[in-house]
Chain A
Amino acid sequence: QVQLVQSGAEVKKPGSSVKVSCKASGGTFSRDSFNWVRQAPGQGLEWMGRIIPIFGTPNYAQKFQGRVTITADESTTTAYMELSSLTSEDTAVYYCARDQKLELKNWFDPWGQGTLVTVSS
């Protein structure tokens, strides 16, 4: 059973960056696909991008191109999402979620518990 455990809540200043981690256990890390999805307060889900560690090249939503960096460390089975140039509109809960694209399983399961990122001066 795959489990995803994310890093804790963050409070950041506008213009700064945040890096959120997602530790995976119980699966085949290198062949899984790790996605990042955010949810602003009271809003819907927004897909940001994903990485398949065995390939290493991330895929980003156009909206976040140039501002998000998704990486994966196979030695620690941990995926990361770094978002730069933060504004108050980036205040949200950030989730990591696994899909198994290489196994033709294009759905998200499981999800991490979520990380609240608050951007405030």
Chain B
Amino acid sequence: QSALTQPASVSGSPGQSITISCTGTSSDVGNYNLVSWYQQHPGKAPQFILYDVNKRPSGVSHRFSGSKSGNTASLTISGLRAEDEADYFCCSYTTTSTYVFGTGTKVTVL
């Protein structure tokens, strides 16, 4: 199972919106609405910020939103803030009852 493909880095100025893509195959992203997203600050464990493509757990800012089209899922961060600077990983359930993570994207707030 190959890792899902994400851009290595994305940057934006405070207040702007950015979008991170997550491209898989018909065996993972394209087959289920079971994509989740995780934020990881340096030296910390990941924390989940979205599940089932576009659902936010309680306590996660409404500035985080998700979508999916075909084999590609996306995470959008609106109103970018300094505290959003972190690594972001997507994850999908697969047809072999396993999970696969994305390659990860470093978000920089300029």
A36 to B91, CA, bound (A): 14
User: Which chain B residue has the least Cβ–Cβ distance from A60?
Assistant: B98
Give the size of the chain A interface in residues (CB under 8 angstroms): 25
**Interface flag for B57 (CB, 8 Å):** yes
Write out, one digit per residue, whether chain B residues 90-105 have a CB within 8 A of any chain A CB (1) or not (0). Answer: 0101000111111110
Q: Decide yes or no: A108 and B1 within 8 Å by CB, A44-B103, A45-B38, A114-B45 being known contacts.
A: no
A44 to B87, CA, bound (A): 9
Residues of the B chain whose Cβ atoms lie less than 8 Å from the Cβ of A45:
38, 46, 89, 91, 101, 104
Write out, one digit per residue, whether chain A residues 41-66 have a CB within 8 A of any chain B CB (1) or not (0). Answer: 00111110110000000011111000
By the criterion CB–CB under 8 Å, are B45 and A111 in contact?
yes
Interface size class of B (residues with CB under 8 A): 20 to 34
- Point out which of A49, A63, A97 has the most chain B C-beta atoms below 10 A from its C-beta: A97
A89 to B46, CA, bound (A): 21
Q: How many pairs of residues, A versus B, come closer than 8 Å at their CB atoms? A: 61
Select one of B1, B102, B103 contacting A61, CB under 8 A.
B1
User: Which chain B residue has the least Cβ–Cβ distance from A108?
Assistant: B48
User: Which chain A residue has the least Cβ–Cβ distance from B6?
Assistant: A44
**Interface flag for B16 (CB, 8 Å):** no
**Interface flag for B13 (CB, 8 Å):** no
Select one of A95, A105, A108 contacting B91, CB under 8 A.
A108
Select one of A44, A59, A107, A111 contacting B104, CB under 8 A.
A44
Across the A-B interface, the 7 shortest Cβ-Cβ residue pairs: A107-B36, A107-B51, A44-B104, A111-B45, A45-B101, A47-B99, A106-B34
Q: Which residues of A contact B (CB under 8 A)?
A: 35, 37, 43-47, 49-50, 59-63, 95, 97, 105-109, 111-114
10 A-B residue pairings within 8 Å (CB atoms): A44-B102, A47-B98, A47-B101, A50-B99, A59-B97, A106-B93, A107-B36, A107-B52, A109-B47, A111-B46
